[in-house]
Chains A and B, each alone.
Chain A
Amino acid sequence: MSIVNDLIAASETLPRSGRISDERYDQKLKDHVTRLRQLLSNNELNHVAHDESLLDQFDPSKDSITYLFLLQLQIHNLRETTSETFPAALLPLGKLWSRSAHYLEIFNPVQVRYAGHEWRQLIELVVQAAQADSKPLLAARLVKGAMLRLDPSCAVFTSTHLLLVQLCLAAKAYTCALPVLEKPIYHIPILPSRSPFRSLQSLCAEYESSVAFVNDTTGLSSTLNSQDYLQYFLYGGMIYMALKKWDEALNYLGTAISMPTKGPISMVAVEAYKKFILVGLLDKGKTCSLPNSTATQVVKTLQSLVKPYLDLAKAFEQGDRIRLEAEIDAAQGIWSADKNTGLVFQVLNAFCKHSLVKIKKVVASLSVAELTAPISPFQGNLSGITESQIASLIMAGDLDATLAHSQLHSSSSILRFKAESLPLLFHENEAHADLQTQGKLMEGLFGSMEQANHRLGLSDEFIDNTVNRQQWPSAGGMKSEMGGATGLEMEEDIMGDLS
């Protein structure tokens, strides 16, 4: 037991005291991890691998490294002795599951930077165990909490991001993913040699950006490929779709579609484009433009692959309900195979709403009877709609109009579209909330841009490039040019929104 006693003694000195420098603490943690790895590889801890009380001797919040290694040892040992991938103790309700779950709730986020591989393996194990037991919800909450604990900014894309959205979709726990989805991703894990913080070697130091420690060597993310990135944005879009947050869904799907590609277009991007078309119709009543960064060739190829969706969108935009229904009927097999049937029926339901919104461009007011008459100037598109449905659309904020009952019950109510809607204050408050959100996003983006500029400015590639391209404008010149143009454009946009 002397090894265990040694570990307990070492564990007690592991929490950081205020005086120790980053360099010394860094070395201490590195040494500790090296020793633990050595003990495990030499099987020197095998005699305690069955001892359930062993973990009780370590506090996972103070020594997250020893606890993690010993937990993994016990899990590995249990799997070997039972010859089962997921023995009962590992499944939800099991003892090792409970220990793992507790660990993920309270681990020390600085210490696990030194045991990134093991930390990620534990996350993956918890996910697999929950899925094997058909309880993805339990893992979703743990993974979300662990991600935010490790890196509250979640600004570096990791394999755990993808796990989380997959779990949340499987568990139908959509809001669980939002605290992560709402945080913009600015980086993918890179080699430390390319890190803006490469001159700072201590993983335990405080960094402005998590890209300093979520990198290719710490193991906090598995190796990623472009498909992972695309899938994350597709699944993220699907989560927003489930919550009917259409703008955010369009943003996520658009990101999946517009990712630069050299080779053939990914099927994930094609799936995202199909959903992008339908969500555009649902939210805006039209096919939305793809992000400007989407390559023309990609757009052309995508359009050739989703013809039934484009035909449906065309019928929708032309306001032709009969054709829209025909298009929906004709391609039922396609919607079903693409798992988009529910979305397509939502599009059909949204047709009425958008037909009403379009009428606003033609008339200022009309009676509800005129609107719903089978033979009306509106091609019968609204023949089935009732006054209460119109009222519901207005009350939900989908239609900017008012209703006015008349004195006589026999007279139809008047629907009046608003030219100038609610008082400016109402819009100003909404605009302010939007501005606050956008302001935070922009602050993050500017911060990351500054880091990127700094990194580029220090890189060999940048210096070589500068030498080769003598016409490169001065940094000061660029700054003033960008600042003037950006500020002016934003102001005009804001005034446009408010008008």
Chain B
Amino acid sequence: MELPLSIQQLSKLAESNVSPSQLFGILSQYEADARLVSAGCGSPETGSADPELLSFFYASFFFAHLLTKQIPEARALTQRMPEAIRLQDPCLKNCLILLRAVWQTQHAQVYQILRNLQWPENLQPLVRRYDSFFQDQTLISVSTSYEAIRLPAAAVYLGLDLAAAEQEDPTIIEKFTQCGWKWDSETKLLHPTPIIVPSTVQKATNGIHDAMAMLGNRGG
């Protein structure tokens, strides 16, 4: 960690394009600093706890957990937040509401919380990033979970305009057909094409071959 914990530094991180795991790693290193700030060793100017900085840090770190799909650990983070700001700070209260919706897989609520609740300006990039991430993840899940799905139901899952979906708005339909889904205008059903996320690991068959070779060598 090169730079000290500050609102400027956190704002830069929130706006940056670092990968979710990098973001998580960087913010993890700041947690000890945040704990010390909460204990009263804030900025040299104030010399005391800095609620705005703490709120921004914990909210950013919370979103970093969500972006790396660490939901149980995100819950643990909310329990580690300093009590005084966890229950008072509007942004962190929003995080708790969001966590509950994500935990209970209430898709419509998740989008509503992300889009309609008031989030601080400097946190907006992470809020938008998670909105997009959650939408992508849900699209993948729906594609493998449904053989056929009504357009409004699919729209709710993806946080799209429900009224437009009920009117069979072509722009809504197009969002799905662009992903290879088929729209049956007679039955009014979408037929998803399962989206298989390619593994980041190298070609699988090589791995199996290598593992078996290793077993053979070791055993023999």
Contact = CB atoms under 8 A, between A and B. Distances in A.
Interface of A: 92-93, 133, 135, 137-138, 141, 171-175, 242-244, 391-392, 394-396, 402-407, 409, 416, 422-423, 425-426, 428-433, 435-436, 438-439, 442-443, 446, 479-480, 482-487, 490-491, 494
Contact of B39 (A92, A141, A175, A494): A92
Mostly, the A contact residues are: helix
Q: 4 closest A-B pairs (Cβ-Cβ)? A: A483-B219, A429-B199, A432-B204, A395-B141
B76 A242 contact: yes
Contact of A173 (B76, B153, B215): B76
B204 A93 contact: no
Contact of A423 (B40, B76, B145, B196): B196
B97 interface: no
A12 B94 CA distance: 55
B17 interface: no
Contacts of A438: 211
B39 A135 contact: yes
Contacts, number: 132
Given A423-B196, A428-B205, A242 B149 contact: no
Contacts of A442: 214-215, 218
B219 A482 contact: yes
B149 A405 contact: yes
A468 B219 CA distance: 27
Contacts of A433: 199, 201
Contact of B201 (A243, A405, A409, A432): A432
Contacts of A174: 72-73, 76
B19 interface: no
A407 to B, nearest CB: 4
Contact of A243 (B72, B199, B215, B219): B72
B142 A431 contact: no
A442 B213 CA distance: 13
Contacts of B148: 404-406
B150 A138 contact: no
Contacts of B219: 479, 482-487
B133 to A, nearest CB: 15
21 contacts: A135-B39, A137-B32, A137-B35, A172-B79, A174-B73, A175-B70, A175-B73, A242-B76, A395-B105, A402-B145, A402-B147, A404-B146, A407-B187, A422-B196, A423-B196, A429-B199, A431-B208, A436-B201, A480-B220, A486-B219, A487-B212
